[in-house]
Amino acid sequence: MLSYALRRFLYMIIVLLIISVIAFIIIQLPPGDYLTSYIMELKTTGTDVSLSEIAALKKQYGLGLPIYQQYFKWMWGMLHGDFGRSFQYGERPVSELIAERLPLTVMINIFAIIFVYIIAIPIGIYSATHQYSKGDYIFTVFGFTGLAIPNFLLALILMLLFYEYFGLSIGGLFSPQYKMASWSLDKFVDMLKHLPVPIIVEGTAGTAGLIRVMRGCLLDELKKQYVITARAKGVSERTLLFKYPVRVAVNPIISTIGWMLPAIVSGGAIVEIVLALPTMGPLLFAALLTQDMFLAASSIMILSFLTVIGTFISDILLVWIDPRIRYEKGA
């Protein structure tokens, strides 16, 4: 178990390294860089940029170097907690920008996952045990609809409804008066008021998916012979359900953390852009559009880091819960 966890951990580090390379390459893909768009902007505003100034800027940003040198410079810095500097946010360190937004991102994602599990598992169990009942149909329709509505559309519609009926703007995570304020109880309460919409929106798709998974697994499990045997022996329906099939069916649920976390982080990115939350998604988006390369690459890294950790945890949990897995992997 420990050696498996250790190997898995090492492997996670390697994955992160490769992702960093991929992230950096992707960021380099678009023609031009931040400097060219920056110079263009200066020119359109009428400011003349001399060649020597361009050279100075290039040197300052380290853009003159070959790509692999830029990468190693960035990588080396990252190991020391220096993610490079953002261009568009007036030379602020990337690490600072990310540190501002990461806790909120993680918090929203974790809440969204908790939301998904709390809603999905009981509904999944109910739907499986009451297959083809009215409730099952209602939940199925709900689940399908949740899967079908694009996250950003749901966010947009909720914003619309709130705006229309309550005259509130629910964009952002804080009311205007708390935006710049330091943390206080009032600010915290204000944030809690803004939290439900992003959490519900980000959790909807996951909930719908998980209900289907849970229902499917449990249905498969309920058809197995040991269930019939137990029933024939007179085990009460409730004990039977929670003692065996549910426990087996929850197994795939654990492994779904592996994909649900990326899904929530990823789907959340768009929701956060639409809702204008102070989180990672909008940061990455703005960085991509302005070719703010260190910021963009670091954002991708951090977002991937979140999901890699998630997969790591789900793998460990899975081995811990289901001992059969270990033999399959030949560990």
Partner 1 sequence: MRDEGKKTSVEESYYVASQWQLMWRKLIKHKLAIFGGIILAIFYFVAVFCEFLSPYDIYEGGVEYIYCPPQRIHFFDEKGFHFRPFIYEVKQTMDPETWRRIYIEDKTKKYPLYFFLQGDKYKLWGLFETEIHLFGVKEGTIFLFGTGKLGRDLFSRNLYAARISLSIGLIGVALSFLLGSILGGISGYYGGTADMVIQRVIELLISIPTIPLWMSLAAALPPDWPPLKVYFGITVILSTIGWCGLARVVRGKLISSREEDFAMAAKIAGAREGRIITRHLLPSFLSYLIVNLTLAVPFMILGETALSFLGIGLRPPVVSWGTLLHDAQNVRTVVLHPWLLIPGLFVIIVVLAFNFLGDGLRDAADPYK
Any idea what DSSP says for residue 181? S
> What kind and span of H or E run contains 313?
helix 293-321
Residue 190 corresponds to which amino acid? D
Q: Is 171 in the site for partner 1 (CB under 8 A)?
A: yes
The residue from 78, 284, 295, 319 that contacts partner 1 (CB under 8 A) is: 284
Compute the least distance from the CB of residue 266 to partner 1, in Å.
4
* Contacting partner 1 within 292-321 (CB under 8 A): 296, 299-300, 303-304, 306-308, 311
Q: Are 111 and 200 in contact (CB under 8 A)?
A: no
> Which of these ranges, 45-53, 78-86, 189-197, 277-285, lies near partner 1 under the rule CB under 8 A?
277-285
Among 267, 295, 298, 314, binds partner 1 (CB under 8 A): 267
Q: For residue 1, what is the DSSP state?
A: -
By C-alpha distance, which of 217, 265, 240, 255 is closest to 106?
265
In whole angstroms, give the CA distance from residue 85 to residue 100: 15
Residue among 48 and 328 whose Cβ is closer to partner 1: 328
Q: In the beta sheet, which residues pair with residue 85?
A: 93
Q: What DSSP line would sit under 180-217, residue for residue?
A: SSPP-HHHHHHHHHHSHHHHHHHHHHHHHHHHHHHHHH
DSSP secondary structure string for all residues of 22-67: HHHHHHH-SSS-HHHHHHHHHHHTT----HHHHHHHHHHHT-SS-H
Q: Please report whether residue 4 would count as binding partner 1 according to CB under 8 A.
A: no
Q: Which of 94, 9, 33, 123 is nearest to 300 (CA)?
A: 94
Distance of CA 44 to the CA centre of its chain: 38
- Print the binding letters for residues 27-56 with partner 1: x by CB under 8 A, - otherwise: x-xxx-------------------------
Per CB under 8 A, the list member of 153, 189, 228, 331 interacting with partner 1 is: 153
Site map 49..88 versus partner 1, x via CB under 8 A: ----------------------------------------
Among 288, 313, 316, 318, binds partner 1 (CB under 8 A): 288
List residues near partner 1 by CB under 8 A: 15, 18-19, 22-23, 26-27, 29-31, 144-145, 147-153, 156-157, 159-160, 163-164, 169, 171, 258-259, 262-263, 265-267, 269-270, 273-274, 281, 284-285, 288-289, 296, 299-300, 303-304, 306-308, 311, 328
